Structure 1
């Protein structure tokens, strides 16, 4: 068991950002970089809302040099190196991780709303998909209303989603928000589809999930957090036991951060990054717009402690109660969050509209960042396939 590592807050920020590929030169490049980052992170959270890019796309554009939206679509639905599945809520993860979710698939086979009605039509649906190649709920004419997660839905939708959760179907592709499903056996190699779960016990599985989430964020503590969402069976008591065991086995390392009384932890394999940070290097400054559900932001209280940055995604906040805006992205510059930006992609006009920009109160000399922010806006415009940029922001007469 390794002795606790002591870091200043600045060193902790640098470690997290190095791990995330958000500090200094890009370490994730092109399609290989997308797969490498997702493998490291375990998963990136998917959200269908697209104001200036979907959440998963925004996560990748800030880290992967040369990333395009078409690249992610290709890796998901042509190359099949990635897959859509539930991890931390709906997520994108490596197809290589299929074997680790056999428990989740088995649970959906044994349980689930309207199970008997779904079972009664599943073979019929498989036959339709086998004939067509793929199908959406609109292609399956089963309009009976059945009990479902949020509210009653059609048997078509309930059956397709249940069979997807069970692993019988995969998402073949998406058109807008409509999912088209195909048979897993037609698109996933047998050695992946039928691979045994590497975790023999529930305890081993939960340990794997905890390690996965620590690696996704970089540093985590043993506290309630959105970082643990989607891990069924992970209660406070067994989470404490798992942390204790992982420390004893040397699989995670305790970190003590100056000014933070609680112990934090990183993966033991990341000690090399801590060594880099402790050598006090000078990192080239880089400016990036960060996704609202970015892995690094999964524990908002931790972000507040280490980065002194308080972020709330206000998309579900009533308009009158919003402090900033509907879809606002944090702005990272070097090892600090310097502000937040509200951007809209006007697809009809092929124009990127910068509606607003707010500097943090700690940033006194706004003009020193203008060139870097505008350079980032131009890259973001290209990422959204826009042909022009419109700056609506004129507050405090800051020219971007």
Structure 2
């Protein structure tokens, strides 16, 4: 049987609709509406870089313009409707997904026990009981409270003092949970004092978790290879993903499709009949210019972004300034279902400074698009907490 063909424009719209970027989001950006956004995305990556706004805040604001950071803090620390843990990176995850992280807790613990002695030495392991006892007796604590007079490592960013490594080990393995943050500092408590009992005590088995993770990934991506589906939550192994796809395909739960890429090539992927049926009624995207986080879930897989949108996006971390074509931390800019460029913009006190915008090849910056770009900056200025904007001479690059 020949595979279903999905042309590139439709594939983009399916993908963007699943990522809540196809059409405006009129919700409040707090409470139950924010909980629903988080559920539909699956998770939101947390990152400390704050040149304009934190990554997770910019991601959520891109979907709900009325969103403000305190709404997410409340969802996690007061309402307990979300928790922080690991997908491909640190992330905020819907609390209802917590039982499905049991496999990840166990697998991460096994990997840490195998690899960390070579990475962090042996001292951290001896601190596990001390960390648990301190938190059990004294309540939530961060790495500073637990450090005492232990020296910080000096060989690199991830060279932690022993109690910090023990703290991260206990969090990654599920025995501790992040209860709140102060600024960007994490505070940990025993999981039983943070995670609601009905989520913490649920016991899905491994087969159920694998099935859920694959289905949930497909629902949120719209289509993908077995490897892309496995990489979504980073719970399922690549071998498990291939086996699940083969079984689901044989039973008719999923179908194969040829997804047209930006360069005209085709990529065999999996999807569902329901997703394809719903795609026929998707609207055209709105014309709003959107400034996105470099960690936006629609773009975090850089190779997929290049295949689907023809957008080659890399953050040039280790390239000397004089050799960079773009700034170190530039923001991708989308309009409709097309990536139109990248922008170097940052907050300096109460000022929003734009030093450069580089249009993508073939993108013409006429009056309407330039006005749309400046309107988006005016919108994000509210999130960033600035009250004025400036554009450096020559900011609009060729």
Is the Cα–Cα contact under 8 Å of residues 135 and 180 in structure 1 kept in the other structure? Answer: yes
Q: CA deviation at 1:99?
A: 0.6
- TM-fit CA distance, 1:18: 1.7
Distance 1:63 1:207 in 2: 28
Q: CA deviation at 1:322?
A: 2.2
Contact 1:216 1:296 in 2 (8 A): no
Which residue does 1:270 correspond to in 2? 275
2:14 is aligned with 1:10: no
Matched, 1:159 2:166: yes
Q: Secondary structure in 1 aligned to 2:91?
A: strand
SS at match of 1:30: coil
Equivalent position of 2:231 in the other structure: 228
1:45 and 1:55 in contact (8 A); partners too: yes
Structure 1 pair 84–316 and aligned structure 2 pair: CA distance change class (3 A): farther
Is the Cα–Cα contact under 8 Å of residues 359 and 366 in structure 1 kept in the other structure? no
Distance (Å, rounded) in 1 between the aligned partners of 2:13 and 2:72:
27
2:41 corresponding residue in structure 1: 41
**Alpha-carbon distance change, 365 to 291 in structure 1, aligned in 2, over 3 angstroms:** closer
**What is the TM-score normalised by the length of structure 2?**
0.85
Contact 2:343–2:358 (8 Å) recurs in 1:
yes
SS in 1 for 2:281: helix
Rounded Cα–Cα distance in structure 2 between residues aligned with 1:146 and 1:357: 40
Any idea what the Cα deviations from partners look like across 1:97-151, whole Å, max 9, x if unmatched? 1111112223455552359865654444334324433111221226277999976
User: By how many angstroms is 1:324 displaced?
Assistant: 1.0
Distance 1:23 1:132, change over 3 A: same
Match of 1:186 among 193, 203, 207: 193
Q: How far, CA to CA, are the matches of 1:238 and 1:172 in structure 2?
A: 32
Q: Deviations over 1:268-301 (max 9, x none)?
A: 5533531213xxx444322211111211113333
Listed one character per residue, the Cα deviations across residues 211-262 of structure 1 (whole Å, up to 9, x for unaligned) are 3433443332345x69727736623x55433322232334333332343322
Give aligned pairs, total. 387
Q: In structure 2, what is the equivalent of residue 92 of structure 1?
A: 92
Q: 2:330 aligns with which of 308, 328, 331?
A: 328
**1:297 partnered with 2:310:** no
Which residue in the other structure is 1:200 paired with?
206
- How has the CA–CA distance of structure 1 residues 227 and 335 changed in structure 2, closer, same or farther, with 3 Å as cutoff? farther
Aligned equivalent of 1:312: 314
User: Cα distance, 1:330 vs. partner?
Assistant: 1.2
Q: Does 1:213 align with 2:217?
A: yes
Gap change, CA 1:120 and 1:301, over 3 Å in 2: closer
Going from structure 1 to structure 2, the CA distance change for 1:143 and 1:189 (only over 3 Å counts) comes to same
Structure 2: distance between partners of 1:217 and 1:3: 23
1:171 equivalent to 2:178? Answer yes
Residue 382 of structure 1, CA deviation: 0.3
For 1:74-89, what aligned pairs fall within 5 Å after superposition?
74-89=74-89
**Distance (Å, rounded) in 1 between the aligned partners of 2:284 and 2:145:** 57
Shift of 1:304: 2.3
Equivalent positions of 1:240-279 (< 5 A) are: 240-258=242-260, 259-277=264-282
Distance of 1:149 and 1:220 partners within structure 2: 36
**2:127 & 2:174 partners in 1: Cα distance?**
16
Alpha-carbon offset, residue 76 of structure 1: 1.9
Say if 1:342 and 1:356, in contact at 8 Å, map to a contact too. yes
Q: Over aligned residues, Cα RMSD in angstroms?
A: 3.1
- Structure 2 partner of 1:22: 21
Name the CA distance, whole Å, in 2 between partners of 1:242 and 1:148.
42
Deviation track 1:342-393 (CA, whole Å, cap 9, x = no partner) reads 11011xx211111211112211243220221111101100011111112225
TM-score (norm 1): 0.85
Aligned equivalents of 1:79, 1:176: Cα separation in 2: 19
5+ residue gaps, structure 1, are none
Aligned to 1:143: 150
Shift of 1:67: 0.9
Measured in 2, the distance between the counterparts of 1:63 and 1:41 equals: 10
Task: Output the CA distance in 1 between the equivalents of 2:154 and 2:210.
Answer: 30
